[in-house]
């Protein structure tokens, strides 16, 4: 109880704009579980409510809290063309009556018109966001600098902009949403048999690092495995380690997390971020026709493909597994020509 109070007190020092439908359900997946030989459960963060839901809703509560504290009237963010994060930011901004500027980065090669105009791009426009383009896909520093120049222009025009900073050099404010989510899942699962492992997508590392930090701060030792969706495992592990240190500094909590706590799997990453492979297509279709649950090609489909690969190889830490569904279903409509 003391650990929970300490964590809640540390989080309370940060302003939040809580719009999410929380707590999200914890749901058994017996049909898919039987097919995989697992006692499979899903944490339904696809049901967080804002802009078709997803994990970004928890993270944006803290970013928009900071924006509100600074008196901002417009918000800026950069991400891939089909980014769930930028789309949810646009929805959040609409709800908060703030102007939204989205910079779309060219991270995925050889895309179709469907990719450029449907899915999250369509929603961005419906939410009233202003769209900008950045021609390079893997240039975090350059994309951040371009966004900074756009913010300067808006400031010169009399606006008060706030940038949602997601780059490696930025403090992981959004990760605090998943530090809090750790307390939520611990409370939901307290009267259940313990999970042997939690599987989560690992991209910016905010969800993965936040969840791992929160669990360890509460004394929960459940292994967390991040399925790499953007970069190779060695690079992702280093990123997670950095973010864990930064979260600890922000909250002034020492969890004693060890390097052995950082687990990643990049076996289904190829050919790269936002690109489908046969394992991802199989995972999306299997979840849909066994459980009626939608996964996306970029994050959750790839993560379920990773879970399935680990299960097949006998490399899961046990048979009772929690899959953390981080949303992203709008992207399905941008990949329809490839999925079918």
- What are the sequence ranges of the domains in the chain? 2-55+171-339, 56-163
Query: What CATH topology corresponds to 56-163?
Result: Rossmann fold (3.40.50)
Q: Which of 12, 83, 260, 329 is catalytic?
A: 83
Predicted confidence band at 147 (pLDDT cuts at 50, 70, 90)? very high
Indicate whether 168 pLDDT > 90: no
User: Average pLDDT, stretch 134-152?
Assistant: 92
Predicted confidence band at 136 (pLDDT cuts at 50, 70, 90)? confident
Indicate whether 69 pLDDT > 90: yes
User: Average pLDDT, stretch 200-223?
Assistant: 97
Active-site residue 83, yes or no? yes
Query: What CATH topology corresponds to 2-55+171-339?
Result: Rossmann fold (3.40.50)
Domains 2-55+171-339 and 56-163 in one fold? yes
Give the mean pLDDT of the chain.
97
Predicted confidence band at 1 (pLDDT cuts at 50, 70, 90)? low
Predicted confidence band at 138 (pLDDT cuts at 50, 70, 90)? confident
**For position 137, what pLDDT does the model report?**
80
Q: Model pTM greater than 0.85?
A: yes
**For position 169, what pLDDT does the model report?**
87
Q: SS3 string of the chain?
A: CHHHHHHHHHHCCCCCCCCCCCCCCEEECHHHHHHHCCEEEEEEHHHCCHHHCCCHHHHHHHHHHHHHHCCCCEEEEEEECCCHHHHHHHHHHHHCCCEEEEEEECCCCCCCHHHHHCCHHHHHHHCCCEEEEECCCCCHHHHHHHHHHHHHHHHHCCCCEEECCCCCCCCCHHHHHHHHHHHHHHHHCCCCCCCCEEEEEECCCHHHHHHHHHHHHCCCCCCEEEEECCCCHHHHHHHHHHHHHHHHHHHCCCCCCCHHHCEEECCCCCCCCCCCCHHHHHHHHHHHHHHCCCCCCCCHHHHHHHHHHHHHCCCCCCCEEEEEECCCHHHHHHCHHHHC
Between CA 45 and CA 53 the distance in angstroms is 7
**For position 176, what pLDDT does the model report?**
98
CB within 8 Å of 246: residues ≥ 6 apart: 171, 172
pLDDT digits (tens, 9 = 90+) for 31-50: 999 999 999 999 999 999 99
Indicate whether 180 pLDDT > 90: yes
């Amino acid at each position: 109880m003391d650990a929970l109070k300490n964590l809640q007190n540390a989080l309370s020092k940060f302003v939040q704009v809580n719009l999410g439908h929380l707590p999200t359900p914890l749901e058994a997946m017996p049909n898919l579980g039987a097919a995989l030989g697992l006692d499979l459960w899903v944490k339904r963060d696809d049901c967080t409510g804002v802009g078709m839901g997803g994990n970004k809703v928890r993270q944006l509560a803290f970013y928009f809290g900071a924006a509100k504290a600074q008196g901002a009237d417009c918000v800026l963010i950069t991400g891939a063309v089909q980014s769930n994060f930028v789309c949810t930011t646009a929805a959040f901004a609409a709800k908060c009556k703030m102007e939204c500027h989205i910079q779309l980065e060219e991270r995925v090669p050889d895309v179709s018109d469907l990719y450029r105009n449907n899915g999250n791009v369509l929603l961005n426009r419906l939410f009233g966001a202003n769209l900008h383009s950045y021609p390079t896909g893997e240039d975090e520093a350059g994309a951040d600098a371009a966004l900074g120049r756009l913010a300067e222009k808006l400031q010169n025009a009399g606006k008060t902009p706030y940038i949602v900073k997601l780059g490696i050099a930025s403090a992981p404010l959004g990760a605090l949403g998943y530090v809090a989510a750790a307390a939520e899942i611990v409370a939901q699962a307290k009267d259940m048999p313990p999970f042997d492992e939690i599987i989560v997508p690992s991209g910016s590392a905010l969800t993965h690092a936040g969840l791992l930090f929160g669990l360890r701060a509460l004394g929960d030792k459940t292994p967390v495995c991040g399925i790499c969706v953007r970069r190779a495992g060695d690079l992702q592990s280093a990123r997670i380690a950095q973010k864990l240190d930064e979260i600890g500094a922000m909250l002034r909590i020492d969890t004693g997390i060890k390097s052995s706590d950082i687990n990643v799997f990049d076996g289904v990453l190829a050919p790269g971020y936002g690109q489908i492979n046969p394992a991802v297509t199989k995972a999306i279709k299997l979840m849909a026709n066994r459980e009626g649950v939608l996964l996306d090609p970029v994050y959750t489909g790839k993560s379920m493909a990773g879970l399935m690969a680990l299960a097949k190889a006998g490399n899961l830490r046990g048979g009772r597994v929690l899959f953390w569904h981080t949303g992203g279903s709008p992207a399905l409509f941008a990949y329809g020509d490839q999925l079918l």
